[in-house]
Structure 1
Amino acid sequence: MEQQSKRILALDLIKGMSVIGMVIIHTLLIFANVKSQSESVIGSFIVFLGRGTSIFLICMGITFMTSSHQSLKSALKRGVLLVFAGLFMNFMKFMIPVIFNFAPDNFIQKYGWNAPIEQQYVYLVLLGDILQLAGMSLLFVGFIREYVKNKYVILAIGLLVALVSREVSGINMDYPVINYVLDLLFNNDYPAYVYFPVFPWMSFIIIGMFFGKWFLEINHNSRQLFRNMLYVGLLFIAIGAPLVFLYGKYHYNGFYHMGPGGVIYFAGWTLVFLWLIFRITLHTKENNAIRILKYCSKNLTSMYMIQWILISWGKGIFGYRQHGIGYVLVLILFYIVLTFAVQISLDILRKKKTLVLFRRASMDETALK
């Protein structure tokens, strides 16, 4: 039982750190000028941290397989909710500043659009972020969890998704609504830009599911699981590295739309990193830092939405990509504190609402007696 709790702690720490990391990365990308992002040591390091999306997705796959909510219906419901949450977040990020007239001019101008302004707004609201990826993926992986019982078949499906990703990229049917779904799946840049298309990014979630299934089969032996992650990770790096560095045009093709070699290579390093974090946390005792990261992990989706909305609104106050690294570091601290403040405020409001409903139910029960 101790091993199981340690395993959960390792994943919680990873997800918790990803929340803090997202605030740091997004603040830099929005407020730092090009020189600060690319030429300063701190800026370059933070941009490098932004390549850690696969870590979150593999953790998502593991917890998806080990979650107490195992029904297909719950997976499909959550998938739909996450897609709409992504659209809502985009509306709050981009349209509220426009409606209340505090959107910076140079943000819209950077696209160099000649299209009608309404079409530009639709483009922004439909942007495909990680919430849409998670939501669309759940509509697929829910069926995998329900009907595929062999862990190696699960892994094969994950690798197959990566294998075909470059071949299916760009599929479209010239019907806007259908095409938006195809955008989220395959990324053809019409009618939206999708940073994380399901193909290939769902591969990381399914690879995580493979290890989640393995974890269940070895009776929650976390030491053995993470040791297996290390071995598989090293194998993936050995396979993916030559594909990425010798045939990069096809197998990498940029971080957001990588090919099969890129998926295998990044998955390999992610698994090695997860093993390393597990080793570090193996003898970690509960402290305030651990509690904060576990809180972030518990509220990952809402804090992701909160920090993106707040940072996007800040463009109208602090400007867009205009500042040096020192100014941005102050903003990073400001947005970390602000994100926690909003999340804690929402928690308090939710608890008050729950308490009011509980009291009301108690009064009704007393009246009936």
Structure 2
Amino acid sequence: MTMSATSPMQDTQPVNERLLTFDFARGILIILMVLVHVLDFYGDTSTHESLVGSTIRLLASWQVAAWFVFIMGMFITYSGQQSLLTGLKRALGLFALGYALNIARGSIPMWLSLKMGLVTQEQLGSYTPTTELFVVDILQFAGLALACCLLIKHLFPAPKYWIGCALLVTFLSPYFWDITTGWSYPDEALKLFFGNKHQGAMFPLLPWLAYPLAGMVFGCWLKYSNNIQQFFKTSLWIGAALTATGTLLTMTNTDYHMASNMRAGPGMIISLTGGALVFLWLCQRVTQGQSANRFVSLLCFWGRNVTTYYVIQWLLIGWGLMLVGSQQLPQIAAVSAMLVVMVLSHFGVLLWLKVRTVRSMRVA
């Protein structure tokens, strides 16, 4: 990368219009996220096995979280400079928010639902208020990953090192999975790094760290690009090549390279990373010259407030168990619930922003 950050751009789009693509991308992923979360928590067996349920699974089961954290890594290097200490504080805040959300959206409503007889332990299976507290969800992962990425960026500022770290994580992670000591407290800490879905580790650091590391390279490349159109065309071809390479690699040993959607092997990680580049190219094509489009503007608004939207939709889904029960809704009711959660989450974000603005004005 020989271009300086201040080089004149051949493409006349300002920097904030560049970001429209990524806000829109996160908005699309938010829609898929709500669909799969509501399906998992509210849909009955027939809904899961229906065409609607199968389609949602196809669109959202592997890609959504991987592409979310890829974009997170991209913003680490693309956005404005911040001190290492400021970034690490934000990482700690995300990590703590993850456990606070576990209590608010999981442990408390589940405990109340059991006490009030709204759901039975048989319906919940192995899930209990205690297991919900210690779930390793994407916010815990995001906090750990952000800290790791910031430290790697600080210690090794060249993108070639980030690519090397991403490849190491991609190919070495399976050798570290499921490391345990047999002691409960150390194992609760270890599952943050090497755990599996059965332990409640939805997003262990290995292998998920590979996606934001790859995103850092993409963000740095974008930052010093002087032609957005050419940048996205090139990234499309690179993405297609990575997707094809990852798919072929996966076919050599499907069980090893696919593993599970919550803990993919090397082939699927490479394929999904390539898919992220293709997806972002599609988003750029849609948003090009569409800043006044209401649909694009709505999804960009959701994308800019992704953490707030994420927390609110989980609170709605978690407390909604007290109304509809666990995995009890037929297809039409489940689809209706998806729409309700999206709409209420939107107004929840608006309310939160208004409250925060009022508080800031009072402080000022």
Same fold (TM over 0.5): yes
Q: 1:253 to 1:189 in 2, by over 3 A?
A: closer
For residues 236-255 of structure 1, what are the structure 2 equivalents within 5 Å?
Answer: 236-255=242-261
Q: Which residue of 1 aligns with 2:21?
A: 10
For residues 63-212 of structure 1, what are the structure 2 equivalents within 5 Å?
Answer: 63-100=75-112, 101-102=115-116, 104-106=118-120, 109-112=123-126, 120-187=128-195, 192-212=199-219
Q: 1:240 to 1:103 in 2, by over 3 A?
A: farther
Q: Counterpart amino acid of 1:83?
A: F
Q: Counterpart amino acid of 2:175?
A: E
> Per-residue deviation at 1:173?
3.2
Q: Counterpart amino acid of 1:217?
A: Y
Q: 1:254 to 1:308 in 2, by over 3 A?
A: same
Structure 1: distance between partners of 2:316 and 2:65: 21
Structure 1: distance between partners of 2:202 and 2:350: 29
Tell me if the contact between 2:107 and 2:130 (Cα under 8 Å) persists in the aligned partners.
Answer: no
In the TM superposition, what whole-angstrom CA distance separates every residue of 1:22-79 from its partner, at most 9, and x where no partner exists? Answer: 22221121111122112x2222111223222222111111111112243211221111
> Per-residue deviation at 1:99?
4.9
Structure 1, 160-169 or 61-70: larger mean CA deviation: 61-70
Q: Which residue of 2 aligns with 1:319?
A: 325
Q: Which residue of 2 aligns with 1:266?
A: 272
Q: Counterpart amino acid of 2:29?
A: S
Q: 1:174 to 1:138 in 2, by over 3 A?
A: farther
Q: 1:108 to 1:4 in 2, by over 3 A?
A: farther
Q: Which residue of 2 aligns with 1:218?
A: 225
Q: Which residue of 1 aligns with 2:294?
A: 288
For the pair 1:308 / 2:318, whether they are aligned, the reply is: no
In the alignment of these two chains, the number of paired residues is 349
Residue aligned with 1:321, SS = coil
Q: Counterpart amino acid of 1:155?
A: I
Structure 1: distance between partners of 2:17 and 2:247: 31
Structure 1, 267-276 or 168-177: larger mean CA deviation: 168-177
Structure 1: distance between partners of 2:28 and 2:243: 24
Q: 1:99 to 1:328 in 2, by over 3 A?
A: closer
> Per-residue deviation at 1:174?
4.0
Structure 1, 100-109 or 66-75: larger mean CA deviation: 100-109
Q: Counterpart amino acid of 1:134?
A: A
Tell me if the contact between 2:192 and 2:205 (Cα under 8 Å) persists in the aligned partners.
Answer: yes
> Per-residue deviation at 1:19?
2.1
Q: Counterpart amino acid of 1:144?
A: I
Structure 2: distance between partners of 1:165 and 1:102: 43
Q: 1:357 to 1:37 in 2, by over 3 A?
A: same
Structure 1: distance between partners of 2:117 and 2:289: 48
Q: Counterpart amino acid of 2:119?
A: D
> Per-residue deviation at 1:98?
4.2
Residue aligned with 2:181, SS = coil
Q: Counterpart amino acid of 1:201?
A: W
Tell me if the contact between 1:28 and 1:37 (Cα under 8 Å) persists in the aligned partners.
Answer: yes
> Per-residue deviation at 1:88?
0.6
Tell me if the contact between 2:239 and 2:277 (Cα under 8 Å) persists in the aligned partners.
Answer: yes
Tell me if the contact between 1:13 and 1:297 (Cα under 8 Å) persists in the aligned partners.
Answer: yes
Q: Counterpart amino acid of 1:232?
A: I
| TM-score normalised by the chain length of structure 2 | 0.89
> Per-residue deviation at 1:138?
1.2
Structure 2: distance between partners of 1:208 and 1:102: 46
Tell me if the contact between 1:251 and 1:261 (Cα under 8 Å) persists in the aligned partners.
Answer: yes
Q: Counterpart amino acid of 2:47?
A: S
Identity over aligned pairs, percent? 28
> Per-residue deviation at 1:180?
2.3
Q: Counterpart amino acid of 1:210?
A: V
Q: Pick from 65, 70, 73 the counterpart of residue 53 of structure 1.
A: 65
> Per-residue deviation at 1:142?
0.6
Unpaired runs of 5+ residues, structure 2, are: 1-11
Q: Counterpart amino acid of 2:211?
A: F
Q: Which residue of 1 aligns with 2:343?
A: 337
Structure 2: distance between partners of 1:222 and 1:106: 54
Q: Which residue of 1 aligns with 2:3?
A: none
Unpaired runs of 5+ residues, structure 1, are: 114-119, 359-369
Q: Counterpart amino acid of 1:105?
A: V
Max Rg structure:
1
Q: 1:189 to 1:288 in 2, by over 3 A?
A: closer
Tell me if the contact between 1:171 and 1:188 (Cα under 8 Å) persists in the aligned partners.
Answer: no
| TM-score normalised by the chain length of structure 1 | 0.88
> Per-residue deviation at 1:224?
3.0
> Per-residue deviation at 1:346?
1.8
Q: 1:77 to 1:351 in 2, by over 3 A?
A: same
> Per-residue deviation at 1:108?
5.8
Structure 1: distance between partners of 2:306 and 2:158: 30
Structure 2: distance between partners of 1:94 and 1:356: 33
Residue aligned with 2:244, SS = helix
Structure 2: distance between partners of 1:75 and 1:111: 39
Aligned alpha-carbon RMSD (Å): 2.1
Residue aligned with 2:289, SS = coil
